[in-house]
Amino acid sequence: MPSKPKTAGGSDSRFFTTQKKGETHELRTDLHSNDRSTKVDAVKKVIASMTVGKDVSMLFTDVLNCIQTDNIELKKLVYLYLINYAKSQPELTLLAVNTFVKDANDPNPLIRALAVRTMGCIRVEKITEYLCEPLSRSLRDEDPYVRKTAAVCVAKLYDIAPDLVEDRGFLEILHDLISDANPSVVANGVAALSEIAETSGKDVMKISTSVLQKLLAALNECTEWGQVFILDSLSKYTPADGREAEGIIERVTPRLQHANSAVVMSAVKVILNYMNMITTEDTLRTLTRKLAPPLVTLLNSEPETQYVALRNINLIVQKRPQILENAIHFFFCKYNDPIYVKMEKLEVIIKLVGERNVEQVLLELKEYATEVDVDFVRKSVSSIGRCAIKLEKAAERCISVLLELIQSKVNYVVQEAVVVIKDIFRRYPNKYESVIATLCENLETLDEPEAKASMIWIIGEYAERIDNADELLETFLETFEEEDPSVQLQLLTATVKCFLKAPEETQEMVQRVLDMATEESDNPDLRDRGFVYWRLLSTDPEAAKAVVLSEKPVIEDDTSKLEPELLDTLISQIATLSSIYHKPPEVFVTRANIRTVTEDDVDDYEYEDENDVGVQPSADGPVDLLDIGGGGDMNGSAPQQNNGGGDVDLFGLDTGGGAPAARPTCVKTQVCDGSQSGGIIINCGFMQTNGSVSMELDLQNNGQIPVTTLAIQLNKSAFGLAPTNQQLVFSPPIAPGASGSYSVGLTVTPNMMSPVAPGSAAPPTVQAAIKNLSNNSVFYFAANFTLESIFSPDGALDRTAFINTWKGIDDTKEVYSTVQLTTSSIEAIIQKFASASIFQIARRPVPNQPGQEVVYFSCKTMTQHSFLAELTFKEGVMACKICVKSEATAYAALAKEALERCAK
Amino acid sequence: MASLSSFFVLSPRGDTIIKKEYRFSFGGTEKDLKSSVEMFFRKVKFWDTSKDGGWDGPDEAKPDQDEANDSHDAPKVDAPPVFLLDGESFLHIKRSGLIFGCSTRYNVSPSQTLELLAKIAKIFKDYCGTLSEEAIRKNFILLYELLDEMLDYGYPQVTSTEQLKMFVYNEPIITAPLVSEKQKGGNGKTASASSVHKPVSVGGVASGKSGKNEIFVDILERLNVLFSANGYVLNSSIDGCIQMKSYLSGNPELRLALNEDLVVGKGNGQGYGAVVLDDLNFHDCVNLSEFDGSRTLSFYAPDGEFVLLNYRIASEFRVPFKMMPAIEMVTPTKLEIMLTVRNEIPAENYGANVVCRVPLPRATATVFCEMVGGGAGVEQAAEHLASERVVEWKVKKFAGASELSLKIKLSLDSPSTLQTRKEIGPISLGFEIPMFNVSNLQVRYLRIAETSPSPFRWVRYVTQSSSYVCRM
């Protein structure tokens, strides 16, 4: 064995012996010893104590003393000690600052770098006085090891004193490092710049043509970690056109053959993002073909890497299904895959399944359904159901597989199968009732609420085709009181359906159920629903039939159900944690400046599993199972005291329970249709009153539980909006079936501004995440912002300034439109504009065009974008031409639309 | 993109052996690293699918199910390698029973982070000789020194074994490798490059005379094969790699030549009998300029263990072992499983440590195993592991071009049904075949420049089972 006995012999573990009294003294003596190996041992002992959490700060100066040595081993040990203290006790470490400054000039590059690295770890303002000089020297050091350490140190310094970094020109030096001859220096330069760009929101990593070339050149030379940093920077760049995109892709493609999965993933990200720019069919086909093998190869790596790959592939197949359309068999589970890999493979399989391969997939799923892991088996069974829902032609085959599995009598298999068969019925009504008989044979196996509720729904729905439907329900009714509320609600509805279909036999039963629901239960939902039915049945059985037995909306294939906008966001986040959680980064990347809600609120933000919504309506609460068609507003909250007036009143009362109606100036559009949000329908608009901006929400609660408190978060947008208060408290709560509104105060802050890519228009949407704190469900919507809501009252310009600005803006930056008006009075328009903070500057007749007049306006947003407008009117015509000029070209179109709206 | 907040190594019991903080939490709520690591460990140890919704989204949406799920006492489940906990993302891998983990508050690249953790584990192993709690505890100062070079401010830095040598001054303390690892190596011939427990020599000054001048090359193929009940191959693939471990003195250029008729990518296949790879990828160090022409790779081998290239083959190949099961119902409560395994590799080769596992139905009452054929020369044993409900059949050395059978006689508590028979299987086979590979990928030669004296070159071929299963 090649190891030489250590100078002091033995193992480091002996340093862990307990520290007795007097030992500190002993150590101190040793630290001052003249013998080098005694000193080395003593420092090691101190470090050992430190790593097990003992306080050895009283020896600080003694250890520090040892740094004055030519022995590198000893010096490194002291630095090891210092770098730990730098973090926890910066004030103490500051004592050593003179040594650092001195060491930063040491002839040995290792020591120079150590000094700079350690200084950067001392996170106190005061260090900056000492750090700048050595840092700027190190950034130009002849040794690459020192330069690369200095590059990281710039990022460290930026965290303490951003202004200083900018003033001293460190960012420019970092930029220069991108073309450094040494790959590690390049990697750290890019990494540091990218982090500064991300944390500051400033475009310090701006990629110009020359930077682009440098990055592409460095890509071939860089370390694997550096390649990841460079590829990630490239993915944020928007190529000028398809040609440039193709050119970059060509340079990136060889990275797909790297053994490091991170390099492959980041290369895939760049290519996917740039593919949007490419229009040539041939190129797209070639790229599609090239991407498949490396993605499949990732499935042969360690399970952890496979997991990451699978979560990403899940997104990729939703965006570009062609890439892996022929690769489904690679996703079949191996028996020794860890469960988290198996689960993700199932998700991908279900996304790739099509008519061509469904037979093969069903064979696999059937096998999986006999494995030992309960969660996996359940998901396999429900996947069979999802196949049926996705592929009409295969539905029959899927059902026969499910029936076969039910024969196994394995408790959880049967229950899961019943739940998915209910979904299949909802997808293909009146088509597969023949299987009901088999299901009915397994009633006694059902002990989970969801399965029971599903079975009861089936019985109620198909009561006329089940000979003994009433008897079956009767068996469930025996235990009515002990059942889960979702089962009780289902039983109630099913019994009523049964009664409406065969009143003679079930009169007594329905009476009993209604009694239990309205008198014995203390569950308000159950009581309410009971009362609704009771009144419906007693006043107008025909109406009851129309309501309860109405046609149900067919549920849809859910396999690629991510909202397109969210999907695009996530695709741009491939190869980041975002793509693992399937959430945009703002939701989980916690930054001090956007956190006002309690930590738990944000941390618990979880996307509803995009895959479950829809297939399992019960996830949204039992409301879907009630199934009285689209008339969700009929479900809820009949006040118990209301004992007359018939059903008209009953339903009339449901509305208008909420807050006063919104002010008429705000136009709202539906942004959330309730399908993803547990039945909460939201209309949203924006306005400004007395200088404060707000987001106006109208909520219609078609869910099952009252809306009491919501938490809202806005994504970064082109308008820099953030809610002043993230908690929306509804008092009184919006009862199920009722509606209400809320005005969310907004502030405009640069922190929430997402930069608009040069050359493109600012996206008009504001994305919001809402968490319902009653059930912790989270949903998302995007609303179109109205720019006039942030027009600032100080947007007026004086005439000269206006003329100068107008002339200074190139004509190519103009946008025009013609807008129909409701008036031909120019004064009325000026008035309307004035109230919207759009200020008149001048008005004059058009020379040589009798009857035409132009009016000039100016306005400015709270985000400091100015717009100049020219409106041309023709006498007697109820229309005008609008021309908007602005240096903020990205926003010009939005400003023009704002003017159009204000003019109407 | 940004960086890690902390790195840590935990023992199997959850003790923190190594920890390092790179970033502080912000917003004044400075959390103790220790407590968040403890929280992380609890989460990993007791991962609960029904509550955490690791893969099924949040279960908050269906609280009704919780109770039901609790009633199944679910077996212990592997936590996914990436999850969010209390505002921080935790990523981890497991190596030799130890957890290598890290936390971050940024939107990092998870692949990069996991690769980095794997790299750190590898470097630790290279420098300590073995990876074990004891080895880490004994070498902690060396490892902290290494960590300071590998991660700065949470960014990955130098992670190559030989480059690190220039910066590291502490020397490793040797610990005995774990006994289990020794056993895994089996007999001497099958030991893979990774079973050489020797730390790389350390010290910018000290290197030179240490150790032998040698290099290990393993062509390792792991097979995934799925058989139907009647013995047909349903699905098969090879995960292959060329793994090397270099102890060469100096840093000579190496040239490694593969089969000349090697074809990469399906559809490019010309020439019968050629080795067709569906995909392959290479280590950072490889120069590919001659690869297209002569299928030769040139590189300067990094010290320590590394994977030179990975390849993947999905087309059909001759499987080394065939499994032929048959179930016969003797009486309604008596079943007989007859399993024949045929080794189809050439007679001069053999399968080592062949382990066959046959899951049995729940209703199994008694089991009797009888091994058929093989004769006295075959060292084999079959055992019923009642707690796992399997029969495990071990053959120490399974000769090529031979056939062995196992007859399992079952008596059942209740009469056999269709379901009972379904519970038998899938039958899995584990094995290792030394000096044999299925794909026929060959190392034509490995040339080492500036060689005097000529270093030892150990080239080995090993075929292993990955997922080798027969459905019933």
Structural domain boundaries, residue A473? 457-550+632-652
Query: Where is average pLDDT lowest: A145-154, A244-253, A847-856?
Result: A847-856
Cα A577 to Cα B88: distance, rounded to the nearest angstrom: 11
CB proximity list for B121: less than 8 A, separation 6 or greater: B93, B95, B98, B100, B131
Residue with tokens 């199997």: B12
Compute the mean pLDDT over every residue in chain A, rounded to the nearest whole number. Answer: 83
B211 touches chain A (CB under 8 A): yes
Instruction: Tell whether A701 is covered by a domain.
Output: yes
Which residue of chain A comes nearest to B70, CA vs CA?
A448
A278 or A678, higher pLDDT:
A278
Which residues neighbour B305 within 8 Å (Cβ) at sequence distance 6 or greater? B122, B125, B126, B193, B194, B243, B244, B245
In a domain, A287, yes or no: no
A768: which strand partners? A714, A781
Domain contains A469: yes
Nearest to residue A675, comparing CAs of A636, A698, A703? A703
Is A332 within 8 Å of B422 when comparing Cβ atoms?
Answer: no
B6-165 and B212-317+437-470 in the same fold: no
Nearest to A859 by CA among A791, A787, A803: A791
- Residues in B 74-133 with any Cβ partner in A closer than 8 A: 74-75, 77-82, 84-87, 89, 92-93, 104-116, 118
- A585-603 pLDDT, tens digit per residue, is 888 876 533 333 333 433 3
pLDDT at B176: 64
**Are residue A801 and residue A771 in the same domain, yes or no?**
no
| Residue A273 resides in a domain | no
Tokens, residue A788 = 């006039």
Domain B212-317+437-470 listed as CATH 2.60.40.1170: yes
Q: What is the pLDDT of residue B271?
A: 55
Q: Which of A758, A785, A812 delimits the end of a domain?
A: A785
| pLDDT given for residue A670 in this prediction | 83
- In sequence order, the β-bridge partners of residue B385 are B390
CATH code assigned at A808: 3.30.310.10
In a domain, A537, yes or no: yes
Q: Using one digit for the tens of pLDDT, what is the confidence trace for A377-432?
A: 999 999 999 999 999 999 999 999 999 999 888 889 999 999 999 999 999 988 88
Strand order of the β-sheet with B321-331 is B321-331, B334-343, B402-412, B364-372
Does residue A503 have a cis peptide bond before it, meaning omega lies within 30 degrees of 0?
no
Q: Which of A259, A266, A332 is facing B281, going by the closest CB pair?
A: A259
Q: What CATH number does the domain containing A679 carry?
A: 2.60.40.1150
Are A191 and B155 within 8 A, CB to CB? Answer: yes
Alpha-carbon separation of residue A448 from A444, A483, A594 (angstroms)? 11, 10, 42
B466, A336: Cβ pair inside 8 Å? yes
Taking residues A646-656, what's their average pLDDT?
34
Same-domain status, A580 and A646: no
A55 is a domain residue: no
> Is A704 found in the same domain as A644?
no
For Cα atoms B242, A304, A311, give the angle at the middle one, nearest 5 degrees: 120
**CA angle, A823 as apex, A819 and A826 as ends, to 5°?**
85
| CA pair distance A417, A402, nearest whole angstrom | 6
Q: Reply yes or no: is the peptide bond before residue A764 cis, omega within 30 of 0.
A: no
Phi-psi category of residue A674: left, alpha or beta, with phi > 0 → left and psi -120 to 50 → alpha: left
Answer yes or no: is A274 within a domain: no
pLDDT recorded at residue A50: 81
Chain A: give the shortest CA distance to residue B346, in Å. Answer: 28
Smallest Cβ–Cβ distance between A607 and the set B57, B105, B153 belongs to B57
Q: Are residues A761 and A776 in the same domain?
A: yes
Average pLDDT of the segment spanning A102-118 = 92
Same domain, A596 and A722: no
Number of structural domains found in chain A:
4
Rounded Cα gap, residues B58 and B51, in angstroms: 8
**Do the Cβ atoms of B281 and A264 come within 8 Å?**
yes
- Residue A595 gets which letter from DSSP? -
The domain boundary residue, chosen from A765, A785, A805: A785
**Three-state SS at B161:** helix
Pair B109, A228: CB distance under 8 Å = yes
Buried b (16+ CB within 10 A) or exposed e, A463-499: beebeebbebbeebbeebeebbbbbbbbbbbbbbbbb
Q: Does B229 touch chain A (CB under 8 A)?
A: no
Fold of B6-165: Beta-Lactamase (3.30.450)
Q: Are residues A674 and A592 in the same domain?
A: no
The answer to whether B46 contacts chain A (CB < 8 Å) is no
CB-CB neighbors (< 8 A) of B138 in chain A: 11-13
A586 with A675, same domain: the answer is no
Contact A589 B72 (CB under 8 A): no
For residues A668 and A794, state if they share a domain: no
Instruction: Identify the pLDDT of residue B75.
Output: 46
Residue B333 has φ and ψ, to the nearest 5°, of -110, 10
The answer to ipTM > 0.85 is no
Q: For residue B111, give the nearest of A308, A375, A606 by CB distance.
A: A308
- B396: closest CA of chain A, how far (Å): 22
A759 and A868 together in one domain: no
Q: Are residues A514 and A638 in the same domain?
A: yes
Give A-chain residues touching B314 at CB under 8 angstroms: 296, 330
* Residue A660 confidence class, pLDDT cut points 50, 70, 90: very low
CA distances to A427, A838, B324 from B352, rounded to whole Å, are: 53, 85, 20
pLDDT (0 to 100) of residue B308:
93
Residues 6+ positions from A207 with CB-CB distance below 8 Å: A215, A233, A234, A236, A237
Q: Which two tokens stand for residue A709?
A: 């408190």
Q: Are A493 and A640 found together in one domain?
A: yes
Task: Answer whether residue A474 is part of any domain.
Answer: yes
* Smallest CA–CA distance from B309 into chain A, residue: A259
3-state secondary structure of A882: strand
Q: What would the mean pLDDT of A355-376 be, rounded to a whole number?
A: 91
| Location of structure tokens 């750190």 | B120
What homologous superfamily is domain B321-434 in, according to CATH? Mu homology domain, subdomain B (2.60.40.1170)
What is the model's pLDDT at position B206? 37
Residues A667 and A760 in one domain: yes
Domain boundaries, chain B: 6-165, 212-317+437-470, 321-434
- Determine which of A186, A219, A577, A603 to mutate to test the interface with B (most B C-beta atoms within 10 Å): A577
Token readout for A861 is 């947003």
A36-67 pLDDT, tens digit per residue, is 889 988 998 888 888 777 778 888 888 888 88
Give the per-residue pLDDT at A680. Answer: 85
Q: Whose CA is closest to A625, among A529, A558, A557?
A: A529
What string of pLDDT tens digits covers the 472 residues of chain B?
A: 458 989 999 999 999 899 888 886 543 344 577 788 888 999 998 887 654 444 433 333 333 333 333 334 444 678 999 999 888 899 999 999 999 999 998 899 999 999 999 999 999 998 888 899 999 988 988 999 999 999 999 999 988 888 888 888 888 887 765 444 333 333 333 444 555 566 665 543 333 344 578 889 999 999 999 998 888 898 899 999 999 988 888 788 899 999 988 888 766 555 566 788 888 899 988 888 888 888 999 998 887 788 999 999 988 889 999 999 999 989 989 999 999 999 999 999 999 999 999 999 888 999 999 988 777 778 899 999 988 889 999 999 999 999 999 999 999 998 888 778 878 878 999 999 999 999 989 999 998 887 667 788 889 999 999 999 998 8
Is residue A402 a contact partner of residue A439, using CB atoms and an 8 Å limit? no
Are A343 and B466 a contacting pair at CB < 8 A?
Answer: no
